[in-house]
Amino acid sequence: MPLTGTGAIVAPAVAYGRGVGAFNVIQLEHAQAIVTGAEAVGAPVILQLSENAVRYHGALAPVAAATLALARRATVPVAVHLDHATSAGLVAEAVDLGFSSVMFDASALAHADNLRRTAEVVARCHAAGVWVEAELGEIGGKDGVHALGVRTDPDEAADFAAGTGVDALAVAVGSSHAMATRDAVLDFALIARLREAVPVPLVLHGSSGVADEDLTRAVEHGITKVNIATQLNRVFTASVRRALADDVRLVDTRRYLGAGRAATAAEVARLLTVLRANPS
């Protein structure tokens, strides 16, 4: 199947009140697991490569080539997205490589600078037919530098969306990046207010810390794109640990990484079912 545009996945989800799973890729096994899980439940999915993952690999192009190739071989719609890019140069490289969307994160800057730089990136990306997500206000917990209690103001969010022309907006509503427990307390009333005020789809970051039933409620109240990374890493790592503990002589990486890949695929399938649930 040809690579699918992120907008082509997100727009129908908005129309039908469903969530879209956006899962982060670190190793090749992550990308394989995410696609396999999506195919198992017949759901579209977004593969995300973050700036941190690019730093880990030392370059974007090699890991991007593998991720894009898997997306194009999938039997369900798959988009490839650059996540939390703070560098306009990295954004430009992703566009050149064929990514269908990017998330440009200038949220650490002063509001006026965030708006200006984001608008510049949006203009360049839209000229290339690339969908853009941005962030207003810092999502709690990332790298230990964001305030956990921060919340996105609906009026500021509406003004930011209008001023930048972004296609989606990540909002701070109670979740936090890299949570090891699933006990985040979301502000559903705020999500509903943001949905009414903001003319573009809303994105929930830090979703690994949110319980299943609250993910469903978040979608019901107006979240569309749901970013999940740590939860997959937790499942993958737990499976690898079990495989190594069960056989202390095990040295074939295919056997324990394969176990992690299979467990992660099952978790992706399960989470996509949670996000597609429509209580109404």
Residue 92 host element (H or E):
helix 88-97
**Residues 258, 30: contact at Cβ < 8 Å?**
no
Residues contacting 227, CB < 8 A, separation 6+: 22, 23, 24, 48, 83, 170, 203, 204, 205, 206, 207
Query: Residue 219 to residues 176, 209, 245: CA-CA distances in angstroms?
Result: 17, 15, 38
Query: Residue 205 to residues 40, 53, 169, 208, 271: CA-CA distances in angstroms?
Result: 24, 16, 10, 8, 15
Side chain identity at residue 230, one-letter code = T
CA distance 35 to 206: 21
| Catalytic residue (one of 83, 167, 187, 214) | 83
- Residue 251 φ/ψ, nearest 5 degrees: -130, -10
- Residue 83 among the catalytic residues: yes
Q: Label the pairing between strands 168-171 and 202-204.
A: parallel
- State the catalytic residues: 83
